[in-house]
Amino acid sequence: MMSQLELKDQKGSKLSILQTLRVHGSMSRIDLTRLTGLSRATISISIAELIECNLVGETDNRMSTKGRPATALELVPNSRVIIGADLDNKTWTLGAFDLLGNVVKTMKIPVYTFEPEETFKALAKEIASFVAGLDKAPIPLLGLGVPGLVDADHRTIRSAADLEWNQVDVASIMESEIGWPTVVVNRHRARGLTECRYGAGVSFDNMIYIGVGMGIAAGLYINRQLLSGSLGGAGEIGHTTIEPSGPLCPCGNNGCLQMLSAGPAIEQEFRKLVRASEHEIVYPYQNVDLQFLKVHDVCAAAEDHDELAIQVITKAGSYLGIAMANLLNTFNPEAIILGGTIPSASSLFVDIATKVMRQRAMRPLSADTIVRTSVFKDIGGALGAANFAFDKNMSIGIFN
């Protein structure tokens, strides 16, 4: 009979194998031994038990090796279900996923308040019926992608200035409402984790995701894991200084990146140029009050070759390119993935940012750095949040 210590070690070995397959994908037993540091005997015993639990399977595909062909191991689709949600533009996107990132079910939940506690209770009210509609019970764990700066414990929104939220104990609210452990992560970093593991960054071990919308934030991924930083703020590039004499940011600094490249900056610059110009606008909203013009209108106008819109998008993309060059010189990633509403809507914005990045970064570093746009759209934040929560709490319900 195994001692408690032996049982704990065995469970830890199985969790290590599961996490390695989740993060790195299908691989041979030899590669698992190398990446986990476990012995071949431990790998063999643990794999047999994981196969018995229907968590891991052997593929018919034989992986090429110098010696005898090695059968690849991979996670079994739909073996377990994890839950995540993402808040964006006063709408929750709630999703259920398997451990391979496949979407099981999704749901949109509108929010009719700016009050933080009610915003999270609106989500909580729908979770029970959402879960009841699944074919199998999910692991009782919730991951949330949220706006703003999240603390290092991934429980509290320290600040979300755009919403005027401060010190919102999200995890306590949700745990009181639904009874599940809850893990909170910035929504852009959650979306980046999805791109890292399942999307545009799946081929890279070290990458940076930059989300550009009404604000700007980044996620740094080292060995396919999110780097949070000592206080949970790694990746807050929206508040890096790009133009010291630039516009005043709500954070109190001048010339922050988000005041130069994010949606509100683009909208404001375009309105200013339109008022100062007799130029006829190409986009189909010539007679609309300028106050109603939104960033997607400016992006569409630029894609339709409007000269003023091109000027605005070029300027905003150039500032982002400077920030990308700084990140590239500092972290030397394999790739930078651009996501959010603006990169998705404007190929010009992406092209300019990439061009300026290559001009300003060290050439030996920038030459091989790949820039791509995100693959996942609305569901990316919920999927990333679910994965991040599971990373932090893999032992919850996994062997039940």
Domain boundaries, the chain: 4-75, 81-193+379-392, 202-373
**Is the model more confident about 149 or about 60?**
149
Task: Say which CATH superfamily domain 81-193+379-392 falls into.
Answer: ATPase, nucleotide binding domain (3.30.420.40)
- Backbone φ/ψ region at 240: left (φ over 0), alpha (ψ -120 to 50), beta: beta
pLDDT at residue 298 tops 60: yes
Which of 3-17, 63-77, 382-396 is the least confident region? 3-17
Is residue 300 predicted with pLDDT exceeding 50? yes
Average pLDDT on 326-351 reads 97
Is the pLDDT at 299 greater than 80? The verdict is: yes
What was the pLDDT predicted at 276?
85
* Strand 91-98 to 149-150 pairing: unpaired
CB-based contacts of 308: which residues, under 8 Å, 6+ apart? 270, 273, 274, 277, 279, 281, 301
Mean pLDDT confidence for 379-391? 96
Output phi, psi for 89, to 5 deg.
Answer: 55, 45
Assigned fold of 202-373: Nucleotidyltransferase; domain 5 (3.30.420)
Give pLDDT tens digits for 225-263.
999 888 888 999 999 999 999 999 988 999 999 999 999
Geometric angle at alpha carbon 65, from 205 and 32, rounded to 5°: 45
Q: Are 386 and 144 in contact (CB under 8 A)?
A: no
pLDDT (mean) for 26-41: 92
Task: Please give the mean pLDDT across all residues of the chain.
Answer: 91
From the DSSP assignment, how many helices (H) and strands (E) are in the chain? 14, 15
Task: Give 290's pLDDT tier (boundaries 50, 70, 90).
Answer: confident
Pick the CATH number of 4-75 from 1.10.10.10, 3.50.50.60, 1.10.357.10, 3.40.50.300: 1.10.10.10
> Can 81-193+379-392 and 202-373 be said to share one CATH topology?
yes
Residues 342, 348: Cα–Cα separation, whole Å: 10
Q: Note the pTM of the prediction, 2 decimals.
A: 0.91
Residue 63: is its pLDDT beyond 70? no
Residue pLDDT, tens place only, 108-159? 999 999 899 999 999 999 999 999 999 999 999 999 999 999 999 999 999 9
Across 53-62, 267-276, 329-338, 359-368, least confident range = 53-62
- In this predicted structure, what is the pLDDT of residue 231? 85
